[in-house]
Amino acid sequence: MLLDSKYNFLKPIKTSHLKRMGAKFDGGYVVDSKIIRTSDRLISFGLGTDWSFELDYLKSTNKNVHIYDYTINYWPYIKIIIKYFRRFITFRTSYKNFRIKLNDFLKLRKFLSLPKVKFFKQKITFPLKNKNDTDIEAVFSRFDHKDTIILKCDIEGSEYDIIEQINKYSERINMLIIEFHWINQSKYQENFIQAVKKLEKNFKIIHIHGNNYDSQSSTGLPNVLEITFTNIKYVPDKIEYNYEFPINDLDFPNDPFEKDFKLSFKRYN
């Protein structure tokens, strides 16, 4: 769908190093592979139930990953395991189904216990309000000030609260992968536009993808949008743009049972 011209500021610049990391479908993101290799570590805000991106980063680089997610809890996994075990011993489900639930729990434990992974059960926000809240200043204080960062952010609307802090530490952030939520809701429309324009003082968009688990408005803009930014220090002297998304063999629908959202930008002569 052709995007309304007011969203032309979202048009990504071309780079020859685009690569998908993580799962096809939900959980994977498109990044600049060269920047991945030359940066010192990954910081991930929001893990949820899919850590394929973080795991792929570890396998590709063998560098440290710091993860922040206050919602991660073993107890829901344990409750599901107990539920399926009871069903298994009463012949209401198969051993295979029980084993799948058990493996989900074991995989999470194994991932979080990897030596290169450091997990913080804290909520990323600003300003701080609750005991388990933390902010980007605290996050960046936990490693050497010379370290360069890949920052991934999927925190269900709290991304709007930390834009200023991201910009404050932009010199240390080589690449930013951020998922913007609820863009087409009246409460967030202007927040989204202002957030991206603030970030574009220090970063440039290199990739964009609509999350088809949600809706797409009549203007063409998805309600949830995944955007990859690169630091302006990596922007080439001669800038060209990509106008059509998704990109074959890089982008896949988050919901594999539905068509991916098509995004087209107006071309100006």
Tokens of 116: 């290169």
Q: What is the arithmetic mean of pLDDT over 72-86?
A: 84
pTM of the model: 0.91
Q: Hey, how many other C-beta atoms are within 10 angstroms of the C-beta on 233?
A: 10
Q: What DSSP designation does 148 have?
A: -
Q: Read off the pLDDT of residues 97-107 as tens digits, 9 standing for 90 and up.
A: 888 888 888 88
pLDDT for 246 beyond 90: yes
* Sequence-ordered list of residues with C-beta below 8 angstroms from that of 17, at least 6 positions apart, any chain: 32, 33, 34, 35
Q: Hey, how many other C-beta atoms are within 10 angstroms of the C-beta on 54?
A: 23
Cα gap 189→17, rounded to integer Å: 31
Q: Read off the pLDDT of residues 178-225 as tens digits, 9 standing for 90 and up.
A: 999 999 988 888 999 999 999 999 999 999 999 999 999 888 899 999
* Sequence-ordered list of residues with C-beta below 8 angstroms from that of 250, at least 6 positions apart, any chain: 18, 19, 20, 30
* Sequence-ordered list of residues with C-beta below 8 angstroms from that of 122, at least 6 positions apart, any chain: 68, 70, 132, 133, 134
Q: Which of 129, 131, 197 is nearest to 158 (CA)?
A: 129
Q: What is the arithmetic mean of pLDDT over 227-249?
A: 95
- pLDDT score of 84: 86
Cα gap 217→268, rounded to integer Å: 23
CB of 12 within 8 A of CB of 242?
Answer: yes
pLDDT for 243 beyond 90: yes
Sign of CA dihedral 250, 253, 255, 257: negative
Q: 58 falls in which pLDDT band (50, 70, 90)?
A: very high
C-alpha 188: how far from chain center: 19
Q: Which of 162, 147, 152 is nearest to 228 (CA)?
A: 152
Cα dihedral 137→138→144→145 (10° resolution): 10
* Sequence-ordered list of residues with C-beta below 8 angstroms from that of 96, at least 6 positions apart, any chain: none
List, in order of start, the domains of the chain with CATH numbers: 5-72+121-264 (3.40.50), 73-116 (no CATH)
- pLDDT score of 26: 86
Q: What is the arithmetic mean of pLDDT over 225-231?
A: 97
As a whole number, the mean pLDDT across the chain is 92
CB of 260 within 8 A of CB of 246?
Answer: yes
